[in-house]
């Protein structure tokens, strides 16, 4: 039985997805936490504002790192990305709010982590199939 050699394109793709998504999640969490702690916003409003900033960071990183898009960014691409990201974030926000409303003692950061984990697969499919259309990396 022979092992297949490591395909660096596949590693870059999946590693890029994790890095880009993880960075966006950290931006989201940091801004949500800061707006609650320092601006006195409620966790629902804080999260909506944080999602806006995290979405732009995610678009720029996914287009360059995950999907290796060589063409310059365009409004059309950003609008496709925004449609997928807002759909994913709407689902994410519903899960986040449901957790906080059904279990009020839950720390907002824990609700954010759970909701983000659940919507990761939805996001990837939308970005790969709807925004950055390309064949999948070799497995």
Q: 117-130, pLDDT tens digit by residue?
A: 889 888 888 988 88
How long is the chain?
139
Is there a domain that residue 136 lies in?
no
Is there a domain that residue 40 lies in?
yes
Map tokens 């449609």 to a residue. 83
What is residue 116's predicted lDDT score, i.e. its pLDDT? 85
Residue 121 structural domain: 8-131
Is there a domain that residue 28 lies in?
yes
Q: For residues 51 and 27, give the distance between their C-alpha atoms in angstroms, rounded to a whole number.
A: 9
Find the Cα–Cα–Cα–Cα dihedral 124, 127, 129, 130, rounded to 10°. Answer: 150
| φ, ψ for residue 132, nearest 5 deg | -110, 65
Is there a domain that residue 45 lies in?
yes
Q: For residues 108 and 113, give the distance between their C-alpha atoms in angstroms, rounded to a whole number.
A: 9
Is there a domain that residue 3 lies in?
no
Condensed to tens digits (0 to 9), the pLDDT of residues 21-73 reads: 899 989 999 999 999 999 999 999 998 999 889 989 999 999 999 888 888 88
What is the domain count for the chain?
1
Is there a domain that residue 43 lies in?
yes
Is the Cβ–Cβ distance between 92 and 118 less than 8 Å? yes
What is residue 4's predicted lDDT score, i.e. its pLDDT? 53
């Amino acid at each position: 039985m022979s092992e297949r050699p490591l395909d660096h394109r596949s590693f870059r793709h999946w590693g890029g997805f994790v890095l880009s998504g993880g960075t966006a999640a950290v931006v989201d969490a940091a801004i949500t936490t800061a707006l609650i702690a320092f601006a006195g916003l409620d966790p629902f409003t804080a999260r909506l504002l944080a999602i806006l900033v995290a979405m732009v960071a995610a678009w720029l990183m996914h287009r360059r790192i995950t999907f290796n898009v060589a063409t310059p960014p365009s409004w059309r691409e950003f609008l496709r990305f925004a449609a997928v990201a807002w759909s994913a974030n709407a689902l994410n926000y519903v899960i986040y709010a449901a957790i906080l409303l059904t279990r009020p003692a839950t720390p907002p950061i824990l609700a954010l982590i759970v909701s983000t984990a659940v919507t990761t697969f939805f996001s990837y499919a939308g970005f790969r199939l709807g925004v950055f259309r390309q064949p999948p990396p070799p497995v």
